[in-house]
Amino acid sequence: MIGTALDILTGLAAEILHLALMLAVAPLLIGCIRTLKARLLGRIGPPVMQPWRDLIRLARKQPVLAENASFLFAAAPAIGFAATLAAAALVPSFALGMSTAAVSDLLVIAGLLALGRCTLALAGMDVGTAFGGIGASREMTFAVFAEPALILVIFTLMLLAGTTNLDGVAGVLREGSVGLRASLGLAMIAMLAVALSENARIPVDDPATHLELSMGREAMVLEYSGRDLALIEGTAALKLLLWFTLIGTVFFPFALATPDAGLLAWPLGIVAWAAKTAVLAIALACFETAVARMRMFRVPEFLGIALLFGLLAAVFLFVNAGFATGGG
């Protein structure tokens, strides 16, 4: 009885620490990537803390709403942020067995992110300006090609782990008893491509563009200002960290603290999480510096390749299992 109560408390503590870390680190991550990219281009770049300062500055300002903006427009940033925060609560960063472990389903995480996306797309259409419509249309179109690739990655993970529960998947992959690593590699490539698209990064979209016609997501939220814009920027930062954490937890599950390892495993887990996130951030900065942005209509091809990799990952597993059972 005391044991279960302690487990619940530990799970809750891990959850709170996890969320606090995610919220604190997300803007820092954006700052790191910006600084890294600037350095790679030979500029000094803004300080790492700049996104945090921007958020605080924006949050102090009252938003200006368009005259014909509806209640949906005013409510959308909070709903979008809450959906992303809820999804972030489900993705384990440094410890398994958080209090949300039982409900941390991969399909639910994808669904919550889609909820945030649809809310902001609707808000983009609300004022009735062309830029909002263009952004919303592009955002929803990219998702049409990203989701099938994502589902095939989940399919592969389901084949390996027998569940779509993220905590369960990470637990199985952490044991290292998974035979074929080639499938996981292919699935990871697909996942990375989906992550680039979902976070509106180069080559799908450019978060730093200042030309409205070339904007994707930025055009969608063009009407926002003040604390609403702070929420939206925060959502984008949190979403990027969420995807980094998701990729780290699924494909590099080492040093994740298990529930029975106790609190002592947490520091190691946190250090490992920071290291994984840093590696992914450096990789992203290098990739974005090296690669140009694609034409809008090339994006379906880019994500089609991700889809192909996802399918190959699943087929490799089928064939492998076929040989294993067919031989015996």
**Which parts of 61-120 interact with other proteins (CB under 8 A)?**
61-72, 74, 78-79, 81-83, 85-86, 89-90, 100-103, 105, 107-108, 111-112, 114-115, 117-118
* Residue 24 interacting with other proteins (CB under 8 A): no
Under 8 Å between Cβ of 82 and 232: no
Give 31-36's long-range contacts (Cβ < 8 A, gap of 24+).
32/278, 32/281, 33/281, 33/284, 33/285, 33/288, 36/281, 36/282, 36/285
Under 8 Å between Cβ of 187 and 156: yes
Q: How far is CA 302 from CA 24, 146, 264, 295, in A?
A: 32, 10, 43, 11
The residue among 40 and 86 lying less far from other proteins, judged by its C-beta, is 86
Per-residue mark of binding to other proteins, 131-150 (x: CB under 8 A):
xxxx-xxx-xx-xxxxxxxx
Question: Please, which of residues 162-181 interact with other proteins by CB under 8 A?
Answer: 163-165, 167-168
Report the nearest approach of other proteins to the CB of residue 277 (Å). 22
* Residue 212 interacting with other proteins (CB under 8 A): yes
Q: How far apart are CA 97 and CA 91, in angstroms?
A: 11
Report the nearest approach of other proteins to the CB of residue 238 (Å). 11
* Residue 223 interacting with other proteins (CB under 8 A): yes
**Those residues with Cβ within 8 angstroms of residue 35's Cβ, 6 or more apart along the chain or in another chain:** 45, 46, 47, 48
Under 8 Å between Cβ of 204 and 314: no
Report the nearest approach of other proteins to the CB of residue 279 (Å). 28
Give the interface segment with other proteins, choosing from 171-179, 195-203, 220-228, 240-248 (CB under 8 A): 220-228
SS3 313: helix
Q: What is the DSSP letter of 42?
A: T
The residue among 132 and 269 lying less far from other proteins, judged by its C-beta, is 132
Report the nearest approach of other proteins to the CB of residue 82 (Å). 4
Per-residue mark of binding to other proteins, 285-314 (x: CB under 8 A):
-----------xx--x------x--xx--x
Give the interface segment with other proteins, choosing from 27-35, 151-159, 170-178, 241-249 (CB under 8 A): 151-159
Residue type, 301: E
* Residue 315 interacting with other proteins (CB under 8 A): yes
**Those residues with Cβ within 8 angstroms of residue 264's Cβ, 6 or more apart along the chain or in another chain:** none
Under 8 Å between Cβ of 51 and 30: yes
Under 8 Å between Cβ of 230 and 59: yes
* Residue 55 interacting with other proteins (CB under 8 A): no
Report the nearest approach of other proteins to the CB of residue 171 (Å). 11
Which residue from 128, 179, 262, 267 is in contact with other proteins, where contact means CB under 8 A?
128
The residue among 163 and 289 lying less far from other proteins, judged by its C-beta, is 163
State yes or no: cis peptide before 77, omega within 30 of 0: no
Give the interface segment with other proteins, choosing from 2-10, 41-49, 222-230, 265-273 (CB under 8 A): 222-230
* Beta bridge mates, 95: 257
Q: How far apart are CA 131 and CA 137, in angstroms?
A: 10
**Those residues with Cβ within 8 angstroms of residue 275's Cβ, 6 or more apart along the chain or in another chain:** none
Question: Please, which of residues 241-270 interact with other proteins by CB under 8 A?
Answer: none
The residue among 134 and 280 lying less far from other proteins, judged by its C-beta, is 134
* Beta bridge mates, 165: 105
Which residue from 14, 96, 152, 200 is in contact with other proteins, where contact means CB under 8 A?
152
Which residue from 17, 40, 48, 151 is in contact with other proteins, where contact means CB under 8 A?
151
